[in-house]
Structure 1
Amino acid sequence: MSSAAAASETTQNSDPYIQSLFAERIGGANYGKSTEIYKFEKIKRAKRKALADHPERQLLDFGIGENDSMADASIREVMGREINQVENRGYADNGVSEYKEAAARLMQRQFGVKLDPETQINHCIGSKPAYAMLPACFINPGDITMMTVPGYPVAGTHTRYYGGDVYRLPLLAKNN
């Protein structure tokens, strides 16, 4: 069978070969087949509906991540200048020492906590990747992550990836 015919058969009659290789912790052969709407898309749809239903009201969005509006012009202006600077190129995979030192000073000044910048400060590209990695470090199958609801769901999602369970802590007035 030619490769074109094999590719055609794969797309018409079955899943691509790689579909059977996905890890069980992320759904195995069923990975990506769910019709469930991504949680942040649900939030965006609810936000659009609330704005459409009540255009006279201002929406105060305290959401985390997934920017859906343009950054301020002053920020875009500075970024436009800085992106062309040679010193701003390259990778900082292990964290920049100036950043780690500044973070340690901030923790000391704001919270009275003394940290070693080289061994106790870790950088990340955002809070979502940091929260997502915590279960990779601490969760074994059967372990539990306690998560507030509403709350930031990524730690719970990744807890389930690693075989753990999520115990939801509802933030309700009756629970104080």
Structure 2
Amino acid sequence: MSFSWTPHRFAGGALALDVANSVVLRHDATRQIDRFAIRDQMRDFPRAAGEFCAERALFGDIAPVAAEHEAGFIALREAIDLYFRQRILNGGGDQLLARLLDATARTLREASPGSVAAATAHSVLRLIAMPDPERMKICGNCGWLFIDRSKNRSRAWCDMTVCGNRAKANRHYRRKKEETP
């Protein structure tokens, strides 16, 4: 199966969320795909992030994760997803925040300063301090995390051109099917 990092893959609005979203269909264990399980995709991620990520101006060119830091980077990714997903659903919790802060601190101590891991850790800190945490949402179609920057805070999908269109097409299909005798 062919794969490339496209703008849609960076619909989260923050590097930390884009990293968490590297697991596709996280909520469906039978169809789940971990894009970082393939080393080449993990190595290509920083270049694409520099091109497509909403925070690209903050970190400039970033280097891939060094092989010896990959496990820590994956642990950071999982802590990001767990904490922010729970914060959206039911306000998070001190234990999950402590786990995220521990993974973030470990990454900042161990990762190279110009690496995607270090940039992700800084992105986490910005998200924790985000002034409008209610703007962080979960896509109603794919389950990715994203920041709703719409004026009226009504965005329901990570990317209107992909998930929004799929959801609308699915709704239209169901409506037409119900109308058919």
Structure with more of its chain in helix, by fraction: 2
- Shorter-chain TM-score bucket reads under 0.3
| Structure of greater Rg | 1
